[in-house]
Structure 1
């Protein structure tokens, strides 16, 4: 598995390096704006963190979950390692390297989801939040797991454009996202913390008006 994971990352690193994309998640049906929503292109250069996926360890077999420690409390997640091994391994390696430490939840939509994982969000320039990621992209790993309340999934800008950004679903179900975003885990403890993040005041672009930061992520065996 290790060789196949690394090969997939290397191939997508070669084909995707330098591509600048805006991360999106569709808003839930029934809201005023039901079409695909996408950030306005930034006039500033996207921050692409220099990460070498060829050096990733195979951490899937030894870690079943993680504790995401935020400024509003702790969220514990359990991974679907058998269903989405490449996606889980990506998250584990980035978390182990401290990639997510200091990032903010930059997009929050009530009754839909909370989104984070962008290294750009460490900046106080909100205009570039949601525009960043590592210097590679990797393929989707769709599975039979439905995107429902508590699901942990990858944000993307289209097919096979996964990087570092992720979201946690707060709606009861989001069937229109199935087959479009890789579901790679679920919240097993801390949905009250997710609700606190969901409840913060936001601006018209769904950006929280107060910082909600990922302080650290602890891997769980």
Structure 2
């Protein structure tokens, strides 16, 4: 069941998810740019591939969900090391907690993973239940507006696929259009050339190189 968008001007992104080589559906998320614009923009650019290092797009494509705890959370976004130790941001390093107004009040919320105050980077987690003990410690920056059941499939898959690994890859459905991105910023999509998308598509990525559970 879809959840109403909090602000129609907020960006929308999505994950297409594959578990064990099988597509299980899409999670569509609203980013709270009206409340935490800096945090939302960091996540958005890592979704779309807009951020580049030495001319090469970097972001969530090809990264993993390295930690899944049923009834608690799903953590991912470490495209640096893939194990929860990596840090990166579009601001060239860890950045401060933008604000802590929003609460971990329900499942399906996106929040920044950190190692203490002011250590935000690329890693995030998705709440699988109310986690009010995290309030005031982690910045909530988005929510699932469609695909909560898909999130549940990821949550329960951790008992089937161990060690649990969730990767990002380009879904086959997009190969014939100009979106080769794992996550698509639908409200502010730019009319970019096919050359741009080809330049950010990792053509070496293949099913054999992916982990058992994938986010496309």
TM-score surpassing 0.5? yes
Contact 2:67-2:164 within 8 A present in 1 as well: no
2: distance between equivalents of 1:208 and 1:113?
16
Find the counterpart in structure 2 of residue 157 from structure 1. 115
Summarize deviations over 1:61-94 as a string: whole Å, max 9, x none.
9752101122243210011111101000111112
Q: CA RMSD in A?
A: 2.2
Summarize deviations over 1:115-151 as a string: whole Å, max 9, x none.
00001455xxxxxx11113151111022432212111
Please report how far the alpha carbon of residue 96 of structure 1 lies from its aligned counterpart in structure 2 after TM superposition.
1.8
Q: Select which of 173, 176, 181 maps to 2:133.
A: 176
2: distance between equivalents of 1:80 and 1:63?
6
| Count of equivalent residues | 151
Secondary structure (helix, strand or coil) at the match of 2:103 reads coil
Contact 2:112-2:140 within 8 A present in 1 as well: yes
Q: Comparing 139-148 with 186-195, which one deviates more in the overlay?
A: 139-148
2: distance between equivalents of 1:70 and 1:121?
21
Find the counterpart in structure 2 of residue 140 from structure 1. 97
Contact 1:65-1:220 within 8 A present in 2 as well: yes
1: distance between equivalents of 2:158 and 2:110?
22
Q: Select which of 15, 20, 32 maps to 1:68.
A: 15
Contact 1:159-1:180 within 8 A present in 2 as well: yes
1:1-221 alignment runs, 5 A limit? 64-72=11-19, 73-97=25-49, 99-120=59-80, 129-134=83-88, 136-147=93-104, 148-171=106-129, 173-202=130-159, 208-215=162-169, 216-221=182-187
Contact 1:107-1:208 within 8 A present in 2 as well: no
1: distance between equivalents of 2:119 and 2:126?
18
Q: What are structure 1's unaligned runs of at least 5 residues? A: 1-60, 123-128
Contact 1:113-1:169 within 8 A present in 2 as well: yes
Q: What are structure 2's unaligned runs of at least 5 residues? A: 1-7, 20-24, 50-57, 170-181, 188-216
Q: Which has the higher helix share?
A: 1
Contact 2:78-2:85 within 8 A present in 1 as well: yes
1: distance between equivalents of 2:94 and 2:34?
21
Q: Which runs of 4+ in 1 moved over 4 A?
A: none
